[in-house]
A and B are shown apart, each in its own frame.
Chain A
């Protein structure tokens, strides 16, 4: 090696030494500029010295690790699912959301989502939190839905202690300074503006269908903060809510890729016996309302002729969503509804298609392939712990709203008709494969573990769910669809609504054996 360095420096000194070095060291045999020459004599069949020994996952076929759940003395549940890998996902899920805001100002959950991971007692600012996480290669996020709030961090497994400490601080000791609340107000205003402006009306329609289906109670309450409440929400309002809903018995600390004993130890250290920022008064006024499905219609007339945000024009569409009550995810009928939702499938008419996209689902075969003027027909299934909603979203030109409604009511009525065995098997296979594919991702496993333990204190493993899905028979589908059709529909409509049939007509169409709207005769159109 030393000889080679000398030769290189000899070269660099200039042309004078060039000739000299050539003569001094003899004819150059070969020049090596790569460092691979230091290990020429180790064969490929033996490991390299000085390289750390790799750890491989064993391919076993099934998830060997079980989900373990421990309940601490204060009611907090700790759930963990071990998984091979260098990283872990840990988070806190809380039974809190817009459905509990009946006696509070609507929009608190929205504010809490935007205020998450801001300054706390130990961390002076959001940047400090992100810097701390960066040391462990971590990222953080908060998501609220109508009934659950989730704070999650994904980081290196070695940083578990720091991560749990950070989570505890963020959830129980946020500072909620006036400056942060002011920034949050701005963020909420931007989000509301964006909701109204985007060409894809899906979040807005979801809000509207919930409002129509659960008139003014629990899950029908606004998920996004209404404009008039933005200025009214401040620290004391947030504290009064947090005092009642961020209590240990409503929380689950879930972790994926961590050992159970370590997680419980960290939970005891940071989440047991600590006094939250809003004082340790006992929770009163906890809303235990049962979600009440009422059915109904919510209309929003809006000019959709120029929703395009760029130079390409977007066609003017009227969007409708028709929903019926299904069942909660705790009931036995939940999986037949999930299979039914998969069987209906659907999507946008401009889909590129392909395997697994649901091109053979009913809404594609019977609706989008036959009626080329329909832009969209998609089926959704929302499910909560005491109720559920199965709805179909459709959009078309405003002049064809009546036909569109009739096509959708016909599809609803056909749900209770004969179910082809091939179609059912396809839907079941698609549901199982989607379940297994999504559960390969660690964040999805985390959310699954957390939500199941929050609702039921235990977790059904994927292969158990697959076995239950395989058991769904055509009679189950027919039974649940018939029971669903007896109830009142919920209708949400957005856009130019001049041709929209009346709610009573939609109701009559769903009771009709063909799904046809009652004939109306109008002399003057």
Chain B
């Protein structure tokens, strides 16, 4: 049973659960921040993803990710970074009151911290968004119901130096495969929004280290 996370009661619950982490991490400097946009597409709760442009230089070209980017010194805090990047990349303006809180930060292979910020953006039509073609090739939404189905969930064991090190989740059968840090952040979000329903594959709360 998918709890009604778009309702006012659901929002209050999430805000309450995230309040402690938000207060602690909001002002702490980090390398990058992303926005996890919880929207409602045709009445169905969904998460919004972007497909990064293959013309971008760098390690993450062509990958699926949440809108976001590096923290600028001019930004007030990580929430501001996430909202600014979302506006620049996707053309979606999210007012600060719609931010529900800050999720657990994740680290990528180079130990840079990425802070996910969860916001409820309300009803949205992904087709109406005009993404910036230099940074984003495509914007798509995946319903929570799709992400919570077991046949769409997978995992991958990673090794290093000949030994097993960590496991990362992967979400399949959407328009694009969701893996890496984006899948980890999706897992945190699903654990928060549907606690009984989603079985996390990251068994320990330890963060994956590259």
Contacts and interface: CB of A to CB of B under 8 A. Distances in A.
Interface of A: 102-103, 106, 216-218, 221, 226, 228-229, 287-292, 485-488, 504, 507-508, 511
Given A292-B170, A511-B54, A511-B55, A488 B62 contact: yes
B155 A507 contact: no
B154 interface: yes
Contacts of B160: 216
A102 B155 contact: no
A507 B157 CA distance: 26
Nearest to A104: B164
Nearest to A107: B162
A82 B160 CA distance: 46
A486 B156 contact: no
A487 B54 CA distance: 7
Given A217-B156, A288-B155, A289-B155, A486 B62 contact: yes
B164 A288 contact: no
Contacts of A292: 156, 158, 168, 170, 179
Contacts of B154: 288-290
B162 A217 contact: no
A487 B155 contact: no
B209 interface: no
A106 B156 CA distance: 17
A228 B162 CA distance: 10
A102 B57 contact: no
A180 B159 CA distance: 29
Interface in B154-210: 154-160, 162, 164-165, 168, 170, 172, 179
Interface in B93-127: none
B159 A229 contact: no
A369 to B, nearest CB: 31
Nearest to A510: B54
Contacts of B158: 102, 216-217, 292
A292 B158 CA distance: 9
Contacts of B54: 485-487, 511
B156 A103 contact: no
By CB atoms of chain B within 10 A, which of A221, A226, A486, A487 has the most? A486
A240 to B, nearest CB: 14
Nearest to B52: A486
A387 to B, nearest CB: 10
A504 B159 contact: no
A161 B154 CA distance: 41
Interface residues of chain A: helix, strand, loop or mixed (majority) = loop
B12 interface: no
A289 B157 contact: yes
A76 B53 CA distance: 46
A176 to B, nearest CB: 23
Contact of A218 (B57, B156, B162, B179): B156
A217 B157 CA distance: 6
Interface in B36-85: 54-55, 57, 61-62
Given A290-B156, A292-B170, A504-B57, 16 more contacts: A102-B157, A102-B159, A103-B164, A216-B165, A217-B159, A218-B156, A226-B162, A287-B157, A288-B155, A289-B155, A289-B156, A290-B155, A487-B54, A487-B62, A507-B57, A511-B54
Contact of B159 (A216, A288, A507): A216
Contacts of A221: 159
Contacts of B57: 504, 507-508
A229 B162 contact: yes
A487 B179 CA distance: 14
A217 B158 CA distance: 5
Contacts of B170: 290, 292
| 5 shortest interchain CB distances as A-B pairs | A102-B157, A290-B154, A486-B54, A289-B156, A292-B156
Contacts of A103: 157, 164
Contacts of A507: 57, 61
A106 B154 CA distance: 23
Contacts of A488: 61-62
By CB atoms of chain A within 10 A, which of B62, B154, B157, B170 has the most? B157
Interface in B9-59: 54-55, 57
Nearest to A101: B159
A508 B62 CA distance: 12
A483 to B, nearest CB: 10
Contacts of A486: 54, 62, 137
Nearest to A485: B54
